[in-house]
Chains A and B, each alone.
Chain A
Amino acid sequence: MKRYLLLAFALLFAAIYLFPVYWMYATALKTSGSIFKYPPELWPSEPLVQVSRVFAEHDIGRYLWNSLLVASGITAITMLLGTGAAYALANARGAKANVALFLVIVLQVLPPSLMVTPLFVAFNHVGLLDYPRTAVVLATAAKTLAFYIVLCRATFTQVPRELKDAALVDGNSHLGAFFLIILPLARNGILITSVLVFLQSFGEYVYSRSFIATRELQTATVNLATYLSANSADWVGLMNYAGIYVAPILIVFILLQRQIVTGLTSGALK
């Protein structure tokens, strides 16, 4: 009995915590008149699905596409450079490896809003700002790469060392042992970490805001922020926009919740 009481409390806490998410979708279903009722309606009395109207009005597809492109690029670079490095750092011992790992951890913590100034000036010099989305990808990948290496390294340390030895004796090169034995065994951890990187990049704001001047190339975060400051009374439109934007993130999260929690807890502190 006590266990179910605890469960009831747990659900209550979760409900209170997740109220903002609920409020976003509840507002999205209201009419523009009913949101200005006071006291507010906790449940939309005349729910109205306005998703497609808002989607078309604000050309959300274009900005989501830009976000998707940027996030894919970031994830690709991160996986490409990060997987091998995480593996090597999981194996390596000694002073040099410690220095590399320390460097990775420290570079992970630099706030983007502070790094953006020098990056902007440097990118401006080399002409990268003419390719603003690429600039965003390159800058953000430096941040996600460090995060990815730290988490993936934890995954690789869980693969027994003797498996690599066995593969080498069986006839693999270091390259072969990595691809044929180690990688398949670390696959789940790598995929989950990549999903996390993707979700993070999908909501990236600072670099996109600072590097992308052309409206057509903006990501959804930047566009939503612009809309937010320009039409701060159109809460129905804004909450629909926000709701559309985070829907894929929430779906992925619900599907992979268990693995995400495990992935985070196994590597986050190490």
Chain B
Amino acid sequence: MLQSGLVKYLRDGKGFEGTLIVAAVLYLLVFAAFPLIYTVVMSFQEVDMFTLGTLVRPFAGLTNYTDLFHRPEFAPIVWNTMIFVTLSIAFQLTIGFALALFFLQDFPGSTYVRGLFLAGWILPALVVGAVWRWIFAGDFGVLNYALQSLGLIDGQIYWLSDPAYALYSVIIANIWLGIPFNMILLSVGLAGIPGDVYEAAEMDGANVIQRFLTITLPMMGPTLGAVVALGVIFTLQQFDLVAALTQGGPANASNVAQYWSWQMSFQTYEISGGATVATMMIALVIVVAVIYVRSVQREQSF
């Protein structure tokens, strides 16, 4: 009786859909939420190769955090991360927006050609990194050749081994990776602005630039917010490119927080250090994610 009641609940009642949600949420709790909490816990513990195998580890208080702040590489890496995120997003967004506006025009094959850009999004970032490494090559790289032909530089730039350029090389490759996604999302937003709004503005005497400033930009506000938030999230996830291009070098010149955290855990086995960086970064990402969800909700009501 009890069993048939359960079967009925699952087939006909609210149980069916509830079970489906619970199964997925449980999986996410075990493999995403639990590690999340575990990172925070480890950032307050002494974790290294010797305590790795035990469950109960010495409580370290805020030592991990203070140690981290006193490391000489802390400030440069934080700075690098900020530059990495800011420049990546600024250029992805600008180029993506420009392309989205361009492809909004009516010409044959516009959708198809626009779609070609997504190839950059779909390729594994590690492979993209490998290809860019070859493009950036100092002596025989095609980028140096192109810049020289255009008369922009005289000698060779050692993109990946010169500390002055290493970070910017990673940023350039990351911008390349991020353009298609920005463009597609912004295209969706642009397509959502009804054409008669533009016609009305034209009747009111607004020229192209005025229409862009007074109609397009304000109406794209929520979309731009969402795209920037997603940009921050994706940029802070970027690990493969750094691994393929510079491994954070030379001398941390191109190191960013998400790579540093991994280096500490897996290369120098300072697991508490890795967990501490991860905790701070995850807190940041979650704040951005909340902004993103808010901004999407605002967009839907609009």
Question: Residues of A at under 8 Å CB distance from B?
Answer: 2-4, 6-7, 9-11, 13-14, 17-18, 20-21, 23-24, 27, 35-40, 42, 77, 81-82, 84-85, 87-89, 91-92, 97, 100, 102-107, 109-122, 124-125, 138-139, 141-143, 145-146, 149, 173-176, 178, 196, 199, 202-206, 209-210, 221, 224-225, 228-229, 232, 235, 238-239, 242, 245-246, 249-250, 253, 257-258, 260-261, 264-265, 268-270
Contacts and interface: CB of A to CB of B under 8 A. Distances in A.
Interface stretch (B69-77, B123-131, B197-205): B123-131
Interface of B: 10-13, 16-21, 23-25, 27-28, 31-36, 38-39, 42, 47, 52-53, 55, 99, 102-103, 105-120, 122-128, 130-135, 137, 139-142, 145, 149, 176, 179, 184-185, 187-189, 223, 226, 233, 236-237, 239-240, 243-244, 247, 258-259, 261-262, 265-266, 271, 274-275, 277-278, 281-282, 285-286, 288-290, 292-293, 296, 299-300
A113 B27 contact: no
Given A38-B145, A174-B12, A265-B188, A113 B262 contact: yes
A111 B285 contact: yes
B239 A238 contact: no
Contacts of A18: 116-117, 119-120
Contacts of B139: 36, 38
A129 to B, nearest CB: 11
A202 B122 CA distance: 10
Given A206-B239, A270-B296, A174 B282 contact: no
A176 B237 CA distance: 40
A196 B134 CA distance: 27
B32 A143 contact: yes
Contacts of A145: 24, 27-28
Contacts of A265: 184-185, 187-188
B239 A113 contact: yes
Nearest to A25: B131
B110 to A, nearest CB: 7
Given A23-B131, A88-B16, 11 more contacts: A11-B113, A18-B119, A21-B123, A37-B140, A82-B24, A109-B292, A115-B39, A117-B275, A118-B275, A174-B11, A205-B243
A119 B265 CA distance: 11
Contacts, number: 312
Contacts of A107: 28, 32-33, 36
A9 B110 CA distance: 11
A24 B230 CA distance: 29
A85 B25 contact: yes
Contacts of A20: 128, 131-132, 135, 176
A107 B55 CA distance: 25
11 contacts: A7-B110, A81-B24, A107-B33, A121-B38, A121-B52, A122-B35, A175-B16, A239-B130, A242-B130, A246-B127, A269-B188
Given A235-B134, A242-B127, A117 B39 contact: yes
A91 B14 CA distance: 11
B253 to A, nearest CB: 17
B16 A203 contact: no
Given A20-B135, A85-B23, A228-B244, A253 B119 contact: yes
A107 B140 CA distance: 43
Contacts of A118: 34-36, 38-39, 42, 275, 278
B201 to A, nearest CB: 22
Contacts of A85: 20-21, 23-25
Contacts of A221: 124, 126-127, 240
Contacts of A202: 124
A117 B262 contact: yes
B23 A141 contact: no
Given A17-B120, A257-B112, A117 B187 contact: no
Contacts of A246: 123-124, 127
Nearest to A222: B126
Contacts of B19: 84
B135 A23 contact: yes
B293 A264 contact: no
B24 A14 contact: no
A81 B123 contact: no
A224 B243 CA distance: 11
Contacts of B289: 105-106, 109
A98 B258 CA distance: 30
Contact of B266 (A6, A81, A143, A210): A210
Contacts of A77: 27
Contacts of A104: 24-25, 28
B32 A142 contact: yes
Nearest to A210: B266
